[in-house]
Structure 1
Amino acid sequence: MQLQSESNPALNTVTAYGEDYIEINAVTYRHAVCFGPEGEVHRWSASGPGAISRASLRQAAGLTESRPDPMAFLDGTPPSRPANAPEVLLVGTGSQQRLLPAETVSELLSMGIGVESMSTQAAARTYNILMAEGRRVIAALLPLEPTQ
């Protein structure tokens, strides 16, 4: 499906998607990708919905491994969102929405990062809207599965 956009051409925009591909700024990708409004489009490590893990969500959100303070539990405050973290991570799970297990998203949620899983089509459209609004959003999209 071709998407029309009136957004800033300097920002990463999903311009099309279809069976086995995702197009960002008129460049076709035939693998899972993660990206934000600015910067590079990266290959996402998840190869399918079942391969989405805490580590792959951290990678998509652009978070680096940090050593937790072993005494942090004493003050009772939850971990705060890192400065470079998105407000929301949109996860496109292919042709159908597949909900992610609570244990997979709990780390990001505890940092104040929203995680929404939906079909790749819905995630692409939602990303374009939020990006156009100037929101700090990251999309992690699996290509649509080929129809048989």
Structure 2
Amino acid sequence: MKFQADKSDAQTITGYGPGWIAVDRQNHETSLLVGSRGLLQAWGPERFEDLSAADFEVLANLEAEVIIFGSGSKNRFPPPAWLKPLMEKRVGLETMDTASACRTYNVLAGEGRNVIAALLQA
């Protein structure tokens, strides 16, 4: 029996490495917001140390079911107080390193979920 993956209309993260993320085979060298419903834009903070509570308020207003936060080369968690806007809107947030976040985004987007990946480069 031959299995073939279902074709998803969601944009896909097709590669990543130090300092770059490819979405549908186009390389980007900034932190990104990537959404299964078409969102693709640079995200202000480049490093974990650049994050602020305002960055998570922006995420809360994106109308996503779940947000995958890629915290850079290692898994780091934002202060819980910064997540209040997400909790108030009942938006889930999963935190992991950026490489893991890219893979997880692809799985969820492929399932047709309304997911956004907020990906830091460093």
Partner of 1:70: none
Aligned counterparts, 1:1-148, within 5 A:
7-8=7-8, 10-61=9-60, 63=61, 85-143=63-121, 145=122
Give the structure with higher Rg (CA). Answer: 1
How far apart are residue 88 of structure 1 and its match?
0.9
Q: SS where residue 47 of structure 1 aligns?
A: coil
| Paired amino acid for 1:23 | A
How far apart are residue 55 of structure 1 and its match?
1.7
Cα 1:29–1:105, aligned 2, differ >3 Å: closer, same or farther? same
User: TM-score, length-normalised on structure 1?
Assistant: 0.73
| Paired amino acid for 2:68 | L
Q: SS where residue 129 of structure 1 aligns?
A: helix
Cα 1:60–1:25, aligned 2, differ >3 Å: closer, same or farther? farther
Question: Which fold has the larger relative contact order, with Cα–Cα distance below 8 Å and residues 6 or more apart in sequence?
Answer: 2
How far apart are residue 126 of structure 1 and its match?
0.6
State the aligned residue count: 118
Q: Distance in 2 between matches of 1:37 and 1:58?
A: 20
Identity across matched positions, percent? 32
Gap runs ≥5 in structure 2: none
Cα 1:35–1:96, aligned 2, differ >3 Å: closer, same or farther? same
| Paired amino acid for 2:69 | V
Q: Which runs of 4+ in 1 moved over 6 A?
A: none
Q: Distance in 2 between matches of 1:19 and 1:6?
A: 30
| Paired amino acid for 2:38 | G
Gap runs ≥5 in structure 1: 64-83
Q: SS where residue 50 of structure 1 aligns?
A: helix
Contact 1:87/1:114, CA 8 A, preserved across alignment:
yes
Cα 1:7–1:53, aligned 2, differ >3 Å: closer, same or farther? farther
